[in-house]
């Protein structure tokens, strides 16, 4: 869709911020915990980070499906926080969080453990090449590790916000989902927030404990987080996609952005769009 105003214009930023406030207010799923504690104000610095002309065009093209300003606002991101991002993949969120946090915050990124998976190792190498050589833009990114036997993602009790986007199914497949969530709990300050986005599995089918199709039931995720001590304080439907029937030949990777089937039924999958996803907001109790 063509944007009638330049993304960097003051008028466009004002209109975008107003729209996001309305969307955030409407984001809770029916019957979910109240999201009234989520910030109603959209930080202009966050809007500017998302609208930056330095972001890659391929990432910007995904913004309509990923709603970065809305989601980070819903999860309570603030510029002075200590934030931990887990398994950043290609860096879609790093490209926003790094510049946003650089002036006043602290930013940890927990990467996958080396030597476990060749594809993950290659992805980490690409991430490092892109993000660790530009301190003027991304600030000092503190790198830690999340993987078998290594779960010290940040000093205990140091983080205001821990974020993970579409990674839980990987940890389930590897057999350490509980340890990963416990690491998030340990890193957070009392009262700190854990935000998780994941491909939503079907409620009419039992959850595969390995999540081999890439989908995880929302109630299963909530139970896992509660088992390590988190309390659910909000959920959002901003990434819901009712066109995703979750019965694809190659699981969630059949859909964009992976499009694992290549040219076969490509236009059909593009029309469906990215997977149906949930966004959950948990809190580490203060006492």
Domain 10-283 CATH assignment equals 2.60.40.420: no
Mean pLDDT to the nearest integer, 34-61: 84
Contact 200, 278 (CB under 8 A): yes
Query: Is residue 153 over pLDDT 60?
Result: yes
Show the tokens assigned to 144.
Answer: 């830690």
What predicted TM-score, i.e. pTM, was given to this entire model? 0.86
Considering just the CA atoms, what is the radius of gyration of the chain in Å? 18
- pLDDT, tens digit, 9 for 90 and up, residues 225-284: 999 999 999 999 999 999 999 999 999 999 999 999 999 999 999 999 999 999 999 999
| CA gap 249, 203 in Å, rounded | 19
- pLDDT, tens digit, 9 for 90 and up, residues 4-20: 333 333 333 333 333 33
Query: What is the bridge-based pairing of β-strands 106-112 and 82-86?
Result: parallel
Q: What is the dihedral of CA 25, 29, 32, 33, to 10 degrees?
A: -20
DSSP symbols for 35-52: -TTS--SPPHHHHHHHT-
Show the tokens assigned to 182.
Answer: 């416990």
Domain ranges within the chain, ordered by starting residue? 10-283
| CA gap 73, 84 in Å, rounded | 16
- Considering only CA atoms, which of 212, 135, 137 is closest in space to residue 174? 212
Contact 187, 282 (CB under 8 A): no
Query: What is the bridge-based pairing of β-strands 106-112 and 141-146?
Result: parallel
Q: Say how many CA atoms lie within 13 Å of 140 toward its Cβ.
A: 5
């Amino acid at each position: 869709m063509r944007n009638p105003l330049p993304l960097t214009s003051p008028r466009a930023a004002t209109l975008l911020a107003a729209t996001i406030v309305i969307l955030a207010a409407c984001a809770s799923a029916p019957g979910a915990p109240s999201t009234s504690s989520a910030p109603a104000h959209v930080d202009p610095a966050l809007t500017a980070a998302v609208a930056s002309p330095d972001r890659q065009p391929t990432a910007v093209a995904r913004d309509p499906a990923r709603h970065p300003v809305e989601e980070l606002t819903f999860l309570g991101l603030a510029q002075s926080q200590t934030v931990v991002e887990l398994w950043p993949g290609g860096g879609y969120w790093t490209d926003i969080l790094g510049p946003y946090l650089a002036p006043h915050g602290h930013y940890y990124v927990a990467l996958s453990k080396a030597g476990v998976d060749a594809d993950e190792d290659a992805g980490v190498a690409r991430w490092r090449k892109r993000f660790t050589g530009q301190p003027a833009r991304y600030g000092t990114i503190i790198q830690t590790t999340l993987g078998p036997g290594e779960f010290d993602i940040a000093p205990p009790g140091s983080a205001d916000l821990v974020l993970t986007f579409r990674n839980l199914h990987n940890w389930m497949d590897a057999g350490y989902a509980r340890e990963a969530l416990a690491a998030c709990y340990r890193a957070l300050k009392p009262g700190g927030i854990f935000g998780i986005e994941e491909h939503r599995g079907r409620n009419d089918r039992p959850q595969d404990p390995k999540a081999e199709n890439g989908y995880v039931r929302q109630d299963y995720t909530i139970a896992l987080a509660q088992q390590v001590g988190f309390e659910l304080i909000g959920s959002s439907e901003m990434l819901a996609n009712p066109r995703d029937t979750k019965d694809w030949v190659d699981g969630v990777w059949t859909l964009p952005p992976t499009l694992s089937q290549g040219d076969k039924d490509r236009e059909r999958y593009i029309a469906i769009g990215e997977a149906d996803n949930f966004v959950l907001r948990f809190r580490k109790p203060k006492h």
